[in-house]
Amino acid sequence: MCHVIVTCRSMLWTLLSIIVAFAELIAFMSPDWLLGFPRSDSVDSVEYRPSLGLYSRCLRIGARGVGVSCGPYAGAFTEVASGFWQAAMLFLAAGTLVLGCVACISIFSLCFQSILKKSIFNICGLLQAIAGLLLMVGLMMYPAGWGSEKVTSYCGSEAAPFRPAQCSLGWAFYAAVGGNLAAFLCAVLSAQAEIATSSDKVQEEIEEGKSLICLL
């Protein structure tokens, strides 16, 4: 029999797991990892800052630079700016994929609290910790690729590994870092969710025959 168990800690873990997965996915796809040095349009003196992501970029186009063209600059994985960015993409994609799977599983944790007699919260918490490590490695490799030819065209000739020169970090990088930290927080909260859903009060309500148990 399926028992729907909702507690503050389990609901908080579920919601945060979903938010973290979406945050990492959006950050991975965004071109706003690096903001290039200010540039002026050829027609007027309006300045703008192009942006460069892991595999995409945004530039202004048009006679007066009023249009924005965003899309992938790499037609294939081997055309990504540097080997470090290629490795970073693999680690970040793997971590994001794991977080996405956990987010899906977390929804079903409201009804099923175990898989093959193993706590679903403990399993998911372990996966979130692994995803956090994958994301951390990816984020550490990312700045090592700032010395590539692609980055110097956006940030100036002084750009070097771990030195963005005239560029500044965009919101996507900070979102990825925040998601990485939140992934570790989810791993910790999963243990609290397990404690909350297996408490004596929950067991008492199950024994009373209740199928919907809500403890706030």
pLDDT at 84: 95
Give the whole-angstrom CA distance, residue 131 versus residue 116.
22
Dihedral over Cα of 55, 58, 62, 67: its sign: positive
Using DSSP's 3-state secondary structure scheme, residue 4 falls into strand
Give domain status of residue 180, yes or no. yes
pTM above 0.75, yes or no: yes
Give domain status of residue 63, yes or no. no
Per-residue pLDDT, averaged over 127-144, amounts to: 96
Task: Note the residue count of the chain.
Answer: 216
The enclosing H or E element of 99 equals: helix 83-108
- Residue indicated by tokens 């290629």: 86
Give domain status of residue 77, yes or no. no
Report pLDDT digits (tens) over 25-40.
999 999 999 998 887 6
Report pLDDT digits (tens) over 98-129.
999 999 998 887 777 677 778 888 999 999 99
Give the whole-angstrom CA distance, residue 79 versus residue 165.
23
* pLDDT for 177 beyond 70: yes
Percent of the chain with pLDDT over 70: 81
Give domain status of residue 135, yes or no. yes
Mean per-residue pLDDT over the chain, rounded: 85
Give domain status of residue 142, yes or no. yes
Cβ atoms of residues 60 and 212 within 8 Å = no
Give domain status of residue 114, yes or no. yes
Percent of the chain with pLDDT over 90: 52
Bridge partners (DSSP) of residue 168 are: 35
Host domain of residue 100: 4-32+82-214
Give domain status of residue 163, yes or no. yes
CATH classification of the domain holding 20: 1.20.140
Give the whole-angstrom CA distance, residue 6 versus residue 8.
7
pLDDT at 2: 62
> What is the total count of domains within the chain?
1
Give domain status of residue 75, yes or no. no
Q: Is 102 exposed, middle or buried (0-12, 13-18, 19+ CB in 10 A)?
A: buried
- Residue indicated by tokens 């956006």: 154
pLDDT at 178: 97
Q: What's the CA angle centered on 28, arms 27 and 31, to 5 degrees? A: 75
* pLDDT for 42 beyond 60: no
